[in-house]
Amino acid sequence: MLEVEGIHTYYGLSHILFDVSLKVSRGEIACLLGRNGAGKSTTMKSIMGLTPPRQGTISFKGKSVMGKKPYQLARLGIGYVPDDRRVFADLTVGDNLEISERRSGDSATWTKESVYDFFEALGHIDHRKAGLLSGGEQQMLTIARALMTNPEFLLLDEPTEGLAPMVVKTLEEQIGKLKDRGLTVLLAEQNQKVALNLSDQGYVIDRGMIRYHGSIDDLRDNEEVRKKYLLV
């Protein structure tokens, strides 16, 4: 569904991604694992058209999306949940969701009601100002907001970072259920446990290069790679 081939991305003169390639097939969760600063967010932003690669190609559903703007990628069905959990702090939870709504026309569309069915905790705080939410609630809200755009594909950038273990567990379950709802996911994580539990295949990135790619079982068994490139 998503194919990234040999991309090189820069911030100004700094060369950050080197020949990064990855493929995510429809209906699966793929993880991009790596330490802080490895290039996970830059890969996500490159896919989303926020830091366009200078070389390489990216295609989505079989068509090149090179040069497309973030809003065009959103229209094509890519939802993006950045790592900063930015919500509209002065708006209520409900308004945060409504402002993001984009109907896709087919039957499997997400509405505020179905999002509240999915994230029950959010349904209970529909009227609360988003700025007053806990970290876990804000993360749910940013994912929920992306769902309101009715994506087929979701880029999730470190959704569990900095959250308490109980909250991480809940989010992990919910991300797993997104796959059951037919979403395809690319999940950037430093948290190996979450990524290994959820994913079908795994990529390991370090210093802007993909160092390993394999099935999630192979990655779980490969202690050498995990020790070398990931946090223990």
Give the closest residue to 163 by CA, choosing from 83, 74, 99: 83
Q: Is 51 in the site for Mg ion (CB under 5 A)?
A: no
Nearer to ligand ADP, 47 or 122 (CB): 47
Interacting residues with Mg ion between 81 and 100 (CB under 5 A): 83
Q: Residue 167 Cβ, how far from ligand ADP at the closest point, in Å?
A: 21
Query: Residues 146, 80: contact at Cβ < 8 Å?
Result: yes
Q: Site for Mg ion (CB under 5 A): how many residues?
A: 3
Q: Residue 205 Cβ, how far from Mg ion at the closest point, in Å?
A: 10
Nearer to ligand ADP, 8 or 129 (CB): 8
- Which of Mg ion, ligand ADP, none has residue 38 at its interface (CB below 5 to 8 Å by kind)? ligand ADP
- Which of ligand ADP, Mg ion, none has residue 42 at its interface (CB below 5 to 8 Å by kind)? ligand ADP
Per DSSP, the residues of the chain read -EEEEEEEEEETTEEEEEEEEEEE-TT-EEEEE--TTSSHHHHHHHHTTSS--SEEEEEETTEE-TT--HHHHHHHTEEEE-TT----TTSBHHHHHHTT----SSTT---HHHHHHHSHHHHTTTTSBGGGS-HHHHHHHHHHHHHTT--SEEEEE-TTTT--HHHHHHHHHHHHHHHHTT-EEEEEES-HHHHHHH-SEEEEEETTEEEEEEEHHHHHH-HHHHHHHS--
Query: Residues 196, 216: contact at Cβ < 8 Å?
Result: yes
Q: Residue 192 Cβ, how far from ligand ADP at the closest point, in Å?
A: 14
Segment interacting with Mg ion, rule: CB under 5 A, options 9-17, 57-65, 80-88, 133-141: 80-88
41: Cβ–Cβ under 8 A, 6 or more apart, which residues?
A: 82, 83, 157, 158, 188
Q: Residue 157 Cβ, how far from ligand ADP at the closest point, in Å?
A: 7
Q: Residue 92 Cβ, how far from Mg ion at the closest point, in Å?
A: 28
Q: Is 41 in the site for Mg ion (CB under 5 A)?
A: yes
- Which of ligand ADP, Mg ion, none has residue 161 at its interface (CB below 5 to 8 Å by kind)? none
Q: Residue 173 Cβ, how far from ligand ADP at the closest point, in Å?
A: 24
Q: Is 9 in the site for Mg ion (CB under 5 A)?
A: no
- Which of ligand ADP, Mg ion, none has residue 49 at its interface (CB below 5 to 8 Å by kind)? none
Footprint on this chain of ligand ADP (rule: CB under 6 A): 11, 14, 16, 34, 36-42
| Chain residues in the site for Mg ion (CB under 5 A) | 40-41, 83
